[in-house]
Structure 1
Amino acid sequence: MARCHCRWCNVFICMCSPCICLVLLFIYASIMVCMDMQSTISPSRVIEEDRFVAPGTLRNNSFAPLPNTFWKLHWHGDAFWNHLQLSIDRHFNPILHPNTKLGFDDSTLLRQSFSEVINLDSTKKNLDKLPQHIQEFVGYMNIRDYATLIQPDGVCGAGAKDEREPPLLLLAIKTTELNFKNRQAIRQTWGQVGWMAGQKRNSSRGDEGGGYIRRVFLLGKENPEELGVDLSELLQIESQRYGDILQWNFKDTFFNLTLKDVLFWDWFSRSCSQTRFVFKGDDDVFVNTPNMITYLQEQLKKPKAHRTMKDFMVGDVIGAAIPNRVNNSKYFIPDTFYQGLYPTYAGGGGVVYSGLLAKRLHNISKRIHLFPIDDVYVGMCMIRLNVYPIHHDAFLTFDFPGKEKEERCSYHRILLVHKRNPNQIIKLWEDVKKTQTQCQGVPLRNAAKKEKKDKKPKQAKL
């Protein structure tokens, strides 16, 4: 009887085991399919604002496109910057390291990843093949602690002494020691500090309003031997007279423009706690400041502005740009240094962002290795904050299209236009003042257009 019972048990097990395995396999497959569908519907959850979002490329109403190169778990290429940033990204990836704590010394992690990558034999061989100016950039890209040589007299740049409310706008202008004429033209025209009235337009209600403006010029240090003259004393005199010079002790080169952003954000976070907006641009742009004042006041009056201001950046937005591979261009970035598309960014000729965003950019920049192209680097920081810059056609970083600038009120319809010399800036300001009455009420260029979130890709920096 026992033998018969055992035999039937064996038969039962043989018959049921495959069925049980199939059921378990079906349950496992169902769970995996559900998880995959869930990740497709919601690719990530929003972590704290200083955390990165993973995985993959995000394309929806809440997040900006994230280049795949930023989140590859295994990098088989030989691009130096990608190797550096991959180490940082892995550390802060909330999926790979869900228990990473915020608030520790991020600069230590940057130095550690730099040391690890640069000491690899393959890296050393590739670095020797890079152009000399990029090798020089690599030699300094791990350094962010530079002495301040000159600081503005005011707490947050030059401004009016009798301000009755917090500054609406800080003009932070990148310049060099040699460009005194550019700075002087800006001081006399669109960069005047103190109270400035806005420009009344058809879309404006009531009076034109206004706001207080402050100004600061951002400089590195020229090499007196290479320049043939030492301008330090003249710059000190200029600073004593105008109180708007902020200079650090690093070599002022094109690739070091990124340092001006990083060091400026640090200074701003410490010195400009109440300033609402920042204009960051070059010293060869013309800005219609009254238009800018009115535009920014309009942004503050929008519904839920107190929530959206922490993400606010507006300018000439460039999407899906390709690194310049032309070796005789000053924007040249070889594929041995960086591979992949550039993130969406606003052209560095002139861009406006909120003071709240400036402080967030300061914090997140501590986790992103420096990149030679300054506006691209700002785009990289924006991507890490899951923030998308707003495009506005009144930012003409590539000048007017066609013959539009010959129209009578063309300069009344813009916020900014790039590439104007000091004499042109002074003349344009005078013309804008003379034609203010006859051009009053003209709208900004394409003001009725919505934000461009699907802008066609441009070639980056030809």
Structure 2
Amino acid sequence: MQLCLCLYLRNLPRCRRPRHLPVVLVIPLILFLIFTGKLEEGLSHFLPLFRYQPSQFSTLIVSKPLPPLLISPSRACSNLPFLLILVTSSPSHLDRRDAIRQTWGSRSTSALSDSLTVFLLAVPESQDEKAVLAQESMLHGDIIQAEFADTYQNLTLKTLVGLTWATEHCPNAKFVLKTDDDVFVNTLTLLKFLKWQKGPLYMGRLHWHVSPIREADSRHYTPMDTYEGNYFPPYCSGTGYILSLDVVRHLLVQREQITLISLEDVYIGLLAYRAGISPLHSAKVAGSMTLPHDGCCYRTMFTSHKVTPQRMVEAWAMLEEAENKWCSLALLSCKIQ
């Protein structure tokens, strides 16, 4: 790069600016935006310009009533949380639930972050698991259980039960985070972000241009009579997405028009698309990406996926230690390692 030292010397000709300086500056900026996900954040704001095509959806269907609740923490929302966190879990994942209760979902953390964490479960096959789950519910008071089999195919149903419970039992919450029991959530950082959000919100790790799988032997199978399009509308990864409560209500209304499918995050995206609600991408939601086991990453990101119970506890300690660290360019470094 040519140096403009001659600007300081009166007797020498005035030098010209390097012609390639803009390119030198723009390329690193573009790469930074791409790798951090900030470019997707910007592009997602243009999604409202596109409207759904009703022909892509199946014929209007009146949805069946949701299964009744077997367990419901009746006084869970008595403290009027700002953020309700719904964690889908399996009966056998007690160690994961306990790790969350000890860390980001603990009562002390919930008080600081103005949040409430509850777990969504269905009915296990084993009588022993049923008994253990009942005792767990009595001990912690944070279990929501509905009367249907706890299987992967019923994950969408489990999420709908949780969202319906939110509107009926926690109507004063401003936002709902739906996540999984292997996800670490930085509730304090997320709360600071949400305090500035106004209006409808459906936000997470955005999936674009995803084709339905038509092979009947795949667990992600989507038949043509359910969805006819070649691509799903953009939707947020089911590992963690945030909904304002007004959006939750709009989504539940659309249940009567879209056939239930087992792809929970896709189904929520279809409900949103039908309701005219566009998802927003957040670079701080990991989605299915596995991040480094690093304090700066846990401090910077809203969610981190595939975190074991042991690492969940370690991450909580690392997060506290990272409060006094200089985490420069953490968003970039955590995603390219």
Same fold (TM over 0.5): yes
Higher relative contact order (CA 8 A, sep 6+): 2
Larger mean CA deviation between 252-261 and 331-340 belongs to 331-340
User: Could you tell me how far apart the structure 2 residues matched to 1:152 and 1:291 are?
Assistant: 26
Aligned letter for 1:318?
H
The alignment of Structure 1 onto Structure 2 pairs a total of residues equal to 288
Identity %: 27
| Counterpart residue number, 2:271 | 381
User: Could you tell me how far apart the structure 1 residues matched to 2:234 and 2:49 are?
Assistant: 8
| Counterpart residue number, 1:145 | 66
Q: What is the aligned counterpart of 1:216 among 90, 100, 118?
A: 118
Instruction: Indicate if the aligned counterparts of 2:91 and 2:121 stay in contact, CA closer than 8 A.
Output: yes
CA apart distance, 1:213: 1.3
Instruction: Indicate if the aligned counterparts of 2:205 and 2:286 stay in contact, CA closer than 8 A.
Output: yes
Q: What is the aligned counterpart of 2:48 among 63, 76, 89?
A: 63
Instruction: Indicate if the aligned counterparts of 1:173 and 1:283 stay in contact, CA closer than 8 A.
Output: yes
User: Could you tell me how far apart the structure 2 residues matched to 1:236 and 1:150 are?
Assistant: 8
| Counterpart residue number, 1:154 | 75
Q: CA 1:377 to 1:262, structure 2 compared with 1: closer, same or farther past 3 Å?
A: same
Q: What is the aligned counterpart of 2:194 among 275, 296, 317?
A: 296
Normalising to structure 2: TM-score of the pair?
0.77
| Counterpart residue number, 2:19 | none
Q: CA 1:60 to 1:222, structure 2 compared with 1: closer, same or farther past 3 Å?
A: closer
| Counterpart residue number, 1:435 | 322
CA apart distance, 1:385: 1.5
CA apart distance, 1:71: 2.3
4+ runs of 1 displaced by more than 6 Å?
none
User: Could you tell me how far apart the structure 1 residues matched to 2:68 and 2:166 are?
Assistant: 16
Consecutive unaligned residues in structure 1, runs of 5 or more = 1-58, 73-81, 89-108, 111-141, 198-209, 300-304, 447-462
2:149 is the counterpart of 1:251: yes
Aligned letter for 1:237?
Q
| Secondary structure, counterpart of 2:120 in structure 1 | strand
2:206 is the counterpart of 1:317: yes
Consecutive unaligned residues in structure 2, runs of 5 or more = 1-43, 333-337
User: Could you tell me how far apart the structure 2 residues matched to 1:62 and 1:344 are?
Assistant: 9
User: Could you tell me how far apart the structure 2 residues matched to 1:408 and 1:275 are?
Assistant: 29
CA apart distance, 1:193: 3.1
Residue correspondence of structure 1 range 1-150 to structure 2 within 5 A:
63=48, 65-66=50-51, 68=53, 70-71=54-55, 82=57, 85-86=58-59, 88=60, 110=62, 143-150=64-71
| Secondary structure, counterpart of 1:238 in structure 2 | helix
2:259 is the counterpart of 1:369: yes
Task: After superposition, give the CA deviation of every residue in 1:59-114 in whole Å (9 maximum; x if it has no partner).
Answer: 9957364454x326xxxxxxxxx5xx22x1xxxxxxxxxxxxxxxxxxxx51xxxx
CA apart distance, 1:367: 2.6
2:334 is the counterpart of 1:411: no
| Counterpart residue number, 2:138 | 240
Greater C-alpha Rg: 1
Q: What is the aligned counterpart of 2:312 among 425, 434, 450?
A: 425
User: Could you tell me how far apart the structure 1 residues matched to 2:173 and 2:330 are?
Assistant: 25
2:90 is the counterpart of 1:176: yes
